[in-house]
Amino acid sequence: MKKLLFALFLISGTFACSDDDNDMDDIEVEQETYAIPGDTFYPEGIAFHQKSGDFFTGSTTNGDIVRVDAEDGDVTLFASGSQQNRAAATGMKIDPKDRLWVCGGASNTIQVLDIRGMLIKSWNTSTLFGSGFINDCVYDNTHIYFTDSNVQKIYRTNVTLDAPDEMEEWLTFTNSEIPYATGINANGIVNTPDNKYLIMVVSNSGKLYRIDKASKAIQEIALDAPVTAGDGLYLNGNVLYVSRNATNQIFPVTLNNEYTQGTLGAGFGTNLLFNTTLDKAGNYFLVVNGQLNRRVTNNPVLPFTVSRVAIP
C-alpha cells in the first residue's frame, strides 16, 4: 500500500493546475531518481497517474512505454511499441477518463491507450495531414491538442467522448505568425486556467506564443529573455515552468494576467541530463532525463533516469 505524503496531480506536466487539486489523494514520491532500464531507451515524455501513484514514460527509440511506481521505483513494461506499431513515444498525457495519449514523434502517429496498456485507437497524421513530427500534447475540458515540430499545424480531437473521435487539423499558421526554422520548432504546450488560451514554446527561437482558442489569434509573448531549448512546459497559475533541455535546468517564467508578457527567473535542478518533459508531484517535479543529445553517438550515461526536483 502506498504511503500518504505528497499531493500529486493527475494532470500532466503541460496542463495548468485546477481548483480540484485540493481534492486529490496524497501519494509518496520516495526516490531522488528513478532508473529506467534499457541501454538505448532515450525517454522523452512523462505522465503521472494520480489514482495509482505510478508514472509513465516512453522510448524515442522503439516506442515502448514503461510504468513506474513513484513510491518504490518498480518498473514494468506497460505497452510494447513493436506490438502496437509505435516506432517512438514522445509527449504523453493521461486524460480524466484514465486514457494515455501518446505522441509518436517522427513516426507521425497519435495513439490512445487504456490504463491497462491496450491500444484504443491510432491515427497516422502523416497520411491525414502531412505532419512532420508529433511532439507534445495538452487537453482542456473538451479537446486534446498536439504540436508538430516540423509542420506549422496543431491537431486536436474531442477528449470527452467514451469512444475517441476523428482527429482534425485544427490550426495552421505561417512564418509571419510563428516562424519555423531547421530543427525542433513547436514543442511543449499548456492550457491556461481560464481555458481561453494555449501557450506553446518554439525550441529553436526560445519564444513563447499565446493562441486564443476561440478566435485562433496568435500573439508572441513578450519575454525579457528567450527560453531557447525550451522543451516540456508546466503552468501553475501565472508561473510557466520551462524545461530547457540543453541547459540541464528548469526555468520559471512569471506571466502577466493576460499571458502577453513574461519575466524569466533563475534556473533550478542540479540532477538533470538534457531534461525533456516534466510533471508535478506535490512540491516536486518528476523530470525526464532524455539525453537526446547523446542519441546519435549512442553514448548515454546509464541508467536512464527520471529525477525528482524540488520546486523553489
Q: Are 43 and 290 in contact (CB under 8 A)?
A: yes
Q: Are 108 and 151 in contact (CB under 8 A)?
A: no
Per the structure block, which three cell numbers stand in for 280? 508535478
Q: How many helices (H) and strands (E) does the chain have?
A: 1, 26
Going along the chain from its start, the domains and CATH numbers come out as: 6-310 (2.120.10.30)
Angstrom distance (rounded) from CA 43 to CA 131: 22
- Name the stretches of the chain with pLDDT < 50: 1-25
Per the structure block, which three cell numbers stand in for 138? 495538452
Cα–Cα nearest to 232, from 260, 251, 217: 251
**Count of alpha carbons within 13 angstroms of residue 204, beta-carbon side:** 11
Res 28: pLDDT? 74
Please return the burial class of 183, using the count of CB atoms within 10 Å of its CB with bins 0-12, 13-18 and 19+. Answer: exposed
Q: Are 111 and 65 in contact (CB under 8 A)?
A: no
- The model carries a pTM of 0.92
Residue reference for cell 503552468: 235
- What letter represents residue 56's amino acid? F
